[in-house]
Structures are given as structure tokens and as C-alpha cells.
Amino acid sequence: MALSLINMVMHLVLLAAAPPLMLGLIQRTKALLAGRKGPPLLQPYYDLYKLLRKGIVLSKTATWIFRAGPMVTLVAVLLGGLLVPFGTSAAPLHFQGDVILLIYVLALARFFTSLAALDTGSSFEGMGAAREVTFACLSEAALMLGLLVLIKFSGSLSLNTMLRAPAMHAFAMLPVASLMLAAVGMFIVLLAENARIPVDDPATHLELTMIHEVMVLDHSGPLLALVNYGAAVKLFVFAALFLHFVPPVPSASPALNWAVFAAEMLGVAVAIGLVESLMARLRLTHVPTLLVAASLLCGFGFILMLR
Amino acid sequence: MEALQRQPVQRWVAQCDGCIRVHDEAMIRVWMNLILLAVVLSGLSGAWGLLSTGRHAWGQWVASACMALAGVLGVGAGLAALAGNKTLVIQYPGVLPGIAMHLKLDALAAFFLVLIFVVGAAASIYGLGYWPQARRRRTAQKLQFVYGLMIAAMAMVTLAADAVVFLTAWEVMVVAGFFLISTEDERADTRQAGWVYLVATHVGTLSLFGVFALMHAATHSYMLAAIPPADGAVVRLCIFLLALLGFGIKAGLMPLHFWLPGAHGNAPSHVSATLSGVLLKMGIYGLLRILMCLPQPPAAWGVVVLSLGAMSAVFGVAFALGQHDLKRLLAYHSIENIGIILMGLGVALIGVAEGHPMWVLFGMAGCLLHVWNHGLFKSLLFLGAGSVISATGSRKIDALGGLARLMPWTAALFLLGAWAICGLPPLNGFISELLVYIGALVPATHAGAGGWAAVSLAAVALAVAGALALACFVKVYGAVFLGMPRSKQALRTREVSLAMRVPMVVLAVMCLVIGLFPMVVLTPLEHAVGVWAWPMGGSKRLATAVPWRELSIAGLALVTGAGLIWLLMRRSSSLRLRRAEPTWGCGYVQGTARMQYTASSLAQMLVAMLRWVLLPVQQGGAPAGIFAGRASFHSDVPDLVTDRLLFRFWRWLQLRLRPMRRVHQGSIQRYLLYILLVLFVLLLTLVPVWTIVRHMLAP
């Protein structure tokens, strides 16, 4: 009982505090690979603090939806974070069918981010919203197929059981081929949903980006802080989700579980940094091909499990 | 072995006898009488107005008051009957010579009745503001009269227990629908939509006659009773296919949807709300009733329904993406949602065939709850669209914009409807889509399901349809309500009257309540599902199988969380340091409303991706040359069936059948003569043929 309480507190603390660190780690990886020193690891926190103290510039065209956008988005991804188990410890909120809730809170976040973008009346932000909702149609199929692999394997519709099932079974029992196919697909989904290279470039802040940074162009001050924090949480949740597709390191003690989880998240951050350093951004018209490939990988993973 | 296989059949027949037996329950009689009173009230609601000269509005007030009263009576009695979960059959002998009339009230009928009366009353009250008699003198009286008739007829369809009542009520319903759709018959496209509807719906009625004739041949009775499975697979298959055709046309199933976008787009908006929210569901209701008469369906039926449903869901929303007309777009979304409803039914049918009670339970619960939910949020959206149209006079999405500032109520309510139809938490659409998802995913969780785990791929179709719907409503809401007004009409807009806002608020509150507290629908849903699913071998564990409490907690957490952040942001000092500036145009300062991203551009990538099915038509293009002249661009997504197949076929047919025109002279005497002649010919030919056939068949 006490143990589960500690685990839950750890989950909440990590969900609330760790996401910006992940951004810092990615930036550091990219800086090191480029031969630069790079900003401090805690730079994303400093940025959030700075933004929270600033004033807000609102567009004259915008309505309450513009302000509600970042708030609803943040709450939605935080709720998603409560559903995904971190490592082998249980998620704070779990029930049969919560896998659908996860997909749909992410959709809710997308709905409000896109609406807030359109609320400014800027054609540039409209383009970002159009791309976001378009690519999501493909990445949502891939996400569903990837999750189907674990649903089939675990026989459960609760993320808590589904996602932890690979860690609960002996390695010999795992459908390794399916999991590996799905893992590659899910990594692509992770990159696409979080607007990372090769789908979008988060580094060029203004006019050169294509999807996420475009949509939030008019947000400023505390609203931008909410947007950035929400994006970091989303990345963190997706990374935690992705980790369950990678054949796990079994660990007996709970303390070790958190250490393994931290190490694995570091690994994901470095992997994203590597991808961003070594690859160029794809042409916009090629993004659907990549996402369809992700769906196919996850789909084959599922079909391999049909008997 | 033989006896073992026959056993469930006999139980089914026995249970059916149980249904038909009149229960000695006093209360259900009271509910039945109240519902019949509501039917009479709504049926006559518009009749009083016919007595007035049409110059005064009292007729309309009386009609709306009657509809509201009928709504209160019908919803109250319907909910009470749902809670009581009893069955009552009433017999009226000798209405027609030799044929008794049967009415039956059970939980499934009550479930649909509640929806009919809620939407019927809400749309009627909305009509006070939207279609006022003072301004619409020519059409308002007719509209109210026919509208009341249609609501009453729909209620009678759900109450019908035999073929005669069913088909009579059905025909009144669809013909009333025709008059409502062609209310604005001075416009050519309205007339065309009306005719397409009339033809389509009568093809449907014809196949329903086939269904009931075959059922009569099998059971020797016009009652909607079960056909013993031993009676021949071919007959049962024919009944199923004819019912799928007849009710599929009514429900707007994908290849049979062709009449729907035009009809729902061209009817007055409050009528569209009723047509989309309720009338389509009569097709679902009929299909459910006929399937109840065909116990032990083969799994292939479930696969057919599931595939057709998945196709409707994905392609319905795909066609919606290409539309420029607000109401046509909403109409295509009805096709999508009918698809979702049928996906639930398909899973349930496969569950029945394969003997998995939980599949039946989840599939059926999702199917029925989505019937309610779609009825609520789609009528809300159509009423919202009506407000936009009555305020701006335009249905063109790309001519609007910035209405959220000018019509805050309509904007907020339409947002709620869009939120719900995308299936996003914490609104009602999420709850029913979740049930359909669980239904589709449950086969993958069963170790013994074998290849049926592939049913779960339907969940992927549902996910894609959901993401497309989200894209579509981002497009609609962004273009209509957000940004800057794109035209003069959109600039001169005021919020609509109270009579139009109140029904929308009521519908929105219902969406919100079902979404945040889904346990309120548990009892009605359990009883309605039970009527269909338990005799078919479904599970009775709806209360425990679905995490009602956790769903409520998650929804409330979303609302409280967002509220908390809102409060924190208000209190923080930053909002005091607030400036209003023009939107950042990347350094370009003179942005105009015409430079905004339009709805068509927003959907352009998706339409291009789906061009292999949408086949968009484009005219014009980018300006060319160094001194570019004027250029224009227009793109349109015509309907695959209506515009590409049906009209061409009709044109061809018209040319071929030109000689037949001589027969049509337009005088009634002549037509009566034709009918008489045809009857004579039939009698003279069929009777001898039939006698010969009987002689040949006789041993």
C-alpha cells in the first residue's frame, strides 16, 4: 500500500516536473553532436519562468478560444499522462477502455490547439492547423494499430495492463517480431505527433517551421509558457508510451524500476537528438508516406499476432 | 446433437410468446396511453393553425405549445417505460376488415420514442424564431402541419407491432418528410432534392413490402414475430438483404446515402435537425426490429454490416471534408455517424453468431447510445447552422468568419456540438464511441476468438474517421466562427432570438450531462439493450462491464483542471500587462480578411490525399505569366452516387423513354383508367398462372 502510494507520488512528480528536462536533454545532445557547448540542461525551465512573468499580447481578432486553447491542451495531455504507466509501476488512473481515452484526450489537445491557431485569422497559423489535423489522421491510425499489438498480446483494454504486459512476461514468451515492428512505427508516431524532425523542425522558431510552432505563433507570455510546457508533457507521455514497446529490462525492486525508467527516458531523448542531428526535415509532401509506413509497420505487427 | 442445436431456438420462441402476452402491469398501460396522447397531440399540433388565415402567428404558437406538451408527455412516459422495462401489446381488432392492429411498447421502442419527442419539441420551438409565420406566410402553416404529422408517424413506427401499422406509419413518415424537404420549392435544387428523396425512399418502401411479404410467408402472420431458423436459410437471407436495402436507404448507409446530402441540406434547418437527428434513426430501428425476428444470424451478416458501417464512417466524413455548404457538410457527417452506429450493430451480430455475450453487449450498447447521442448533438449542430444562416443569410462556409464575436451564444453552443460529434471527452459523443471501440476491440482480447480478432481492425477505421471528423470540424468552426468576417453579410450579424437559443441550450446541456455523468443513461441503456441482446444471447453485465464512474471522474478532472488553470491565469499579474495588437503577419501589416486561410485550403491536403474516392472537380488555376491577369479557382466534390451515376443514368433513361411521354397527359381520369386496366391485366394473367403453378406443385 505504502509502496503504491510512493509510486503514485513519483509518477505525479515526474509527470509535473520532468518533461522540460527532456527538452533540455535533446538540445544538449544536438549541441554536442554539432560540436557546440549548448544551453544549460535546465534552460527550458528558465524559459518557462521568464515567460510566466511576462505580459501578454493578444490579437485583436482573437476571442476566448484563443486563450482557452493552451489551457485545455495542457489539461488534456496531463490527463493522458495519468493514464500511461511509467516503467513497471502502475498508472494512477486506470480502467477498462482507458486506451481510447488516451487517444481522445490527445485529440482534444489537437482540437483546441488548432482552433486557437485559427482564432487569430492569420493564414500562416491556418496552414499549421491544416497540417496538424491532416497528419494526425494518419498518425492516429498508426497509433491505434500499434496499441492493437499490445491489446492482442495482453488481452486487456487498460493501458496499465496492456503496456506493462511485455515486462511481466519472460522474454521467450514475447512476440518479439511484432513488438519490434510496432516499436519502429511508434517511434515515427512519437516524432510526428511531437513535431520533431523529420516531420517538423522545432528549432527554427518562426517562419520556417511547418506545424506546431506555426500554430502557436501568436501566443505570448504565460500563454506561450502553457503551450511550451504542454508540448513538453506530450513528448514525455509519448516517450513513456513508446518505451513499453521496447523489450524491457526486468527489475525486481521499485527503486530500480525508477532508475531504469530514468535511464530509458534519457535514451529516448538521446535517440531523438540523434535523429534530429543526423536527418534533414522531409518535404511536406513526403510526410504522409512516412506516416503510412508507420501504420504499415504497426499493422504487420498486429497481423503477425493473428492466429 | 440435433436436439441440442434446436434448444436455443425453442427458448427464443418461448420468450417471444412471453413478450406478446399482455402483462398485467397497470403502470405500463398508463405510459402507453400517455405516449399515445403525445402522438395525437403532435399529430394534430399543426392542424389548428390551418384554421387561421395565416396572417396571425397564433397557429404557430399553438403548434409549438402542442409539440412541447407532447415532448414533456412523451419523454416522461418514455423514460418511465424505460425504467419499468415491461412489455405491453395492445390489440385493436377490426380497424381494417379481417386485420387487427397491434401496438407494442417495450424498452427498445421507448428508447427511440424519447429521442423522437426530445428533438421534435426542441426543433418545433426553434421554428418559432427560425421560420416565423409572420415572415413565411406561404409555407409556415403547411410546414407546421406536416411536421407534426411526421413526428407522430415516427412515434407510431416505433410502436408498431405488425406489418400493417408499421408500413402505414412508415409511409406517412416518409411522405411527410418529402413535403418538409421541399418546403422552399421555389428553388430548383430543393425541388430536385425532394424528388430524389421521394424516389429513393420509395425504393426503400418497396423492399420493405418485400420483407414483410416474405415474413408473412414464413410465419403466416403480419406480426413482427420471430421466424424459426429451420425455415430455410434462403428466405432469411432474402429478408436480411431486403431489410438492409430498405432500412439502409432510410438510414443513409454509404452507397445508399445519395438522397441524403441534398435533402438535409435544402430543408429548413430545424427540419434538417429532425431529419438528421431522428428520421435516419428510424432506419436503424427498423433494422433492429427485423433482426430480432431472425434469430441465429450467420456471422457473415455481422461482417457485412460492420464493413458497410466502417465504409460509411470513413467515406461519409471524407465527403464532408470536401463540402463548401455548411448544411451539406453536416448531412455528410450524419452518414459518418450512421456508420458508427452500424459498426456497433455489426460487432453485436458477429457476437451473436459466434456466441460471445460481451461482444453483443458492447456492440449493442454503443449502437443504441450513439443513436441518442447523435440525435442530440447533430440536432444541436443543425440548429446552430440554422442560426448562422438566419443571421447571415449564407450557407457558404467560405463566405463567413468571425461570428464568435458577434454571436457568442451560437458560437459557444456550436463549439459544444462540434466537440461532441468529434467524440472528444468529456462530452456524450465520447461515451458512445468508447462503447463501440470497446466492442470492436474486445475480440482482440479474447484468446479463443481466433481469426475474429481481425474485427478489431474496425477500431482503426473508427480512429481514422474520428481524426477526419476532427479535421472537418476544425475547418468548419475555424472558417465560420473564428478569424475575421469574410463578407458583408458576416459583418452585419446579430445574435439570434431567445426562442432559437433555448432549444439549443437544452440539447447542449443534455450532451454535457451524458458526457460528464454517463451513469444517468445506464438504466435506460441496459433495458433497451436487453430487449434486443438478451434473447440473442448477450450479457447482462452492462453496469459492471463499463467503467462508468472512472469515465465520469476523468471528465470532471478535465473540466476542473481547465477551470483551475483559467482561474490561476486570471489571478496572475500577467493578464494585467495585456495589450491588443493586430495578428502577427510575419512582418506584413496590412492583412485583410480575404487573406485568411479558407476552409477549402484547410481541407485541401486531405481532399488531395483522398482524391481517389472523392474525385474532386477543379476549375481555373494559379495566375500565370509575368504580368499575371485575373485568375480564379474553384473546386468542388460532387457526390459519387447522385451526381456521377444516378443523374447520368436518369438522363439516359429519359432519352430512351421519350415515347412513353405520350401516355402522360396529366388528367386524373386517365390515370385511374390506367390503374384499372393494369389491375384487369394482372387478374387475367396472374390468376391462371397461379392456378397452373399450384397444380404443378401439388403432389
DSSP one-letter string for B620-667: E----TTTT----EEEE---TTIIIIIHHHHHHHHHHTGGGGGG----
Alpha-carbon distance of B258 to B263, in angstroms, equals 9
Cβ <8 Å between B575 and A56: yes
- The shortest CB-CB distance from B424 to any of A107, A131, A218 is to A107
Q: Provide the b/e sequence for B8-28 (b: ≥16 CB within 10 Å).
A: beeebbeebeebbeeeeeeeb
For the cut 50, the answer to whether the pLDDT of residue B12 exceeds it is no
Cβ <8 Å between A108 and B565: no
CB-based contact B522:B543 (threshold 8 Å):
yes
Nearest to A195 by CA among A276, A298, A100: A276
- Prediction pTM value: 0.93
For the cut 80, the answer to whether the pLDDT of residue A96 exceeds it is yes
Alpha-carbon distance of B659 to B559, in angstroms, equals 68
Mean of all residue pLDDT scores within chain B: 88
List, for residues B276-293, the tens digit of each pLDDT value. 999 999 999 999 999 999
Given this model, what pLDDT does residue B276 score? Answer: 95
CB-based contact B88:B508 (threshold 8 Å):
no
Looking at residue B54, what DSSP letter applies?
S
Given this model, what pLDDT does residue B629 score? Answer: 83
Quick one: what percent of chain B has pLDDT higher than 90?
Answer: 60
Alpha-carbon distance of B66 to B64, in angstroms, equals 5
Interface test with B, best of A53, A111, A287, A298 (most B CBs within 10 A): A111
B457: distance to nearest CA of chain A, Å? 8
pLDDT band, very low/low/confident/very high, at B368 (cuts 50, 70, 90): very high
Q: Among the listed ranges A285-289, B10-14, B394-398, which one has the minimum average pLDDT value? A: B10-14
* Chain A / chain B CB contacts < 8 angstroms: 254
Cβ <8 Å between A79 and B596: no
A274: distance to nearest CA of chain B, Å? 30
Helix (H, G, I), strand (E, B) or coil at A268: helix
Given this model, what pLDDT does residue A146 score? Answer: 95
Cβ <8 Å between B460 and A221: no
**By CA distance, what is B589's nearest residue in A?**
A122
For residue A289, what are the CA distances in angstroms to A128, A210, A294? 19, 17, 9
Task: Please tell me the total count of domains within chain A.
Answer: 1
Given this model, what pLDDT does residue B231 score? Answer: 66
In this structure, what C-alpha cell is assigned to residue B264? 438535409
For cell 410546414, what's the residue?
A: B143
* Residue B541 sits at the chain A interface (C-beta within 8 Å): no
pLDDT band, very low/low/confident/very high, at A211 (cuts 50, 70, 90): confident
pLDDT band, very low/low/confident/very high, at B576 (cuts 50, 70, 90): low
Instruction: Identify all chain A residues contacting B442, using CB atoms and an 8 Å cutoff.
Output: 157
For the cut 50, the answer to whether the pLDDT of residue B388 exceeds it is yes
Cβ <8 Å between A78 and B423: no
Looking at residue B223, what DSSP letter applies?
B
Higher pLDDT, B155 or B222: B155
pLDDT band, very low/low/confident/very high, at A244 (cuts 50, 70, 90): very high
Helix (H, G, I), strand (E, B) or coil at A267: helix
Average pLDDT, stretch B497-504? Answer: 94
Task: Give the pairing type, strands B99-105 and B633-636.
Answer: unpaired
Residues sharing a CB contact under 8 Å with residue B378, sequence separation 6 or more, in sequence order: B273, B276, B277, B330, B333, B334, B337, B417, B421
Cβ <8 Å between B463 and A121: no
Mean of all residue pLDDT scores within chain A: 91
Higher pLDDT, B491 or B480: B480
**By CA distance, what is A106's nearest residue in B?**
B424
For residue A1, what are the CA distances in angstroms to A5, A6, A8, A89? 6, 9, 11, 13
For the cut 70, the answer to whether the pLDDT of residue B8 exceeds it is no
- The shortest CB-CB distance from B444 to any of A71, A122, A152 is to A152
A209: distance to nearest CA of chain B, Å? 13
CA B115 to chain CA centroid, Å, is 11
Alpha-carbon distance of B474 to B485, in angstroms, equals 17
Q: What DSSP element (H or E) covers B581?
A: strand B578-581
Instruction: Identify all chain B residues contacting A125, using CB atoms and an 8 Å cutoff.
Output: 597
Given this model, what pLDDT does residue B686 score? Answer: 86
pLDDT band, very low/low/confident/very high, at B574 (cuts 50, 70, 90): low
Average pLDDT, stretch B358-386? Answer: 96
Q: Among the listed ranges A220-224, B232-236, B266-270, which one has the minimum average pLDDT value? A: B232-236
A269: distance to nearest CA of chain B, Å? 28
- Tell me the CB-side half-sphere exposure of residue A151, using CA atoms within 13 A: 33
A265: distance to nearest CA of chain B, Å? 26
CB-based contact B180:B271 (threshold 8 Å):
yes
Which B positions 365-404 lie with beta carbon below 8 A of chain A? 401-402, 404
Higher pLDDT, A68 or B586: A68
Instruction: State the greatest distance between any 2 C-alpha atoms of chain B, in Å, as a whole number.
Output: 98
Nearest to B153 by CA among B275, B251, B246, B17: B275
Looking at residue B583, what DSSP letter applies?
P
Average pLDDT, stretch A82-91? Answer: 91
CB-based contact A26:A239 (threshold 8 Å):
no
Q: Provide the b/e sequence for B338-356 (b: ≥16 CB within 10 Å).
A: bbbbbbbbbbbbbbbbbeb
**By CA distance, what is B404's nearest residue in A?**
A63
Higher pLDDT, B649 or A247: B649
Higher pLDDT, B154 or B11: B154
For the cut 90, the answer to whether the pLDDT of residue A257 exceeds it is no
In this structure, what C-alpha cell is assigned to residue A85? 504507466
ipTM, 2 dp: 0.96
Residue A166: domain span: 2-305
Quick one: what percent of chain B has pLDDT higher than 70?
Answer: 94
* Residue B437 sits at the chain A interface (C-beta within 8 Å): yes
Quick one: what percent of chain A has pLDDT higher than 70?
Answer: 96
Cβ <8 Å between A141 and B463: yes
Given this model, what pLDDT does residue A299 score? Answer: 95
* Residue B565 sits at the chain A interface (C-beta within 8 Å): yes
Given this model, what pLDDT does residue B81 score? Answer: 92
B75: left (phi over 0), alpha (psi -120 to 50) or beta: alpha
List, for residues A2-45, the tens digit of each pLDDT value. 778 888 999 999 999 999 999 999 999 999 999 999 999 999 99
Q: Among the listed ranges A200-204, A299-303, B168-172, B530-534, which one has the minimum average pLDDT value? A: A200-204
Alpha-carbon distance of A227 to A72, in angstroms, equals 10
List, for residues A129-152, the tens digit of each pLDDT value. 999 999 999 999 999 999 999 999
pLDDT band, very low/low/confident/very high, at B303 (cuts 50, 70, 90): very high
For the cut 50, the answer to whether the pLDDT of residue B13 exceeds it is no
List, for residues B191-246, the tens digit of each pLDDT value. 999 999 999 999 999 999 999 999 988 888 888 888 877 767 888 899 999 999 99
CB-based contact B331:B482 (threshold 8 Å):
no
Cβ <8 Å between B453 and A55: no
- The shortest CB-CB distance from A65 to any of B404, B547, B581 is to B404
Which B positions 48-67 lie with beta carbon below 8 A of chain A? none
Alpha-carbon distance of A159 to A97, in angstroms, equals 8
Instruction: Identify all chain B residues contacting A120, using CB atoms and an 8 Å cutoff.
Output: 483, 583-584
CB-based contact B73:B41 (threshold 8 Å):
yes
Interface test with B, best of A144, A189, A305 (most B CBs within 10 A): A144
Average pLDDT, stretch B605-625? Answer: 87
List, for residues A110-127, the tens digit of each pLDDT value. 999 999 999 998 888 899
Cβ <8 Å between B460 and A148: yes
Given this model, what pLDDT does residue B104 score? Answer: 93
Interface test with A, best of B474, B578, B600 (most A CBs within 10 A): B474
List, for residues B334-351, the tens digit of each pLDDT value. 999 999 999 999 999 999
Question: Whats the size of chain A, residue-wise?
Answer: 307
Instruction: Identify all chain A residues contacting B474, using CB atoms and an 8 Å cutoff.
Output: 111, 114-115, 118, 129, 133
List, for residues B103-120, the tens digit of each pLDDT value. 999 999 999 999 999 999
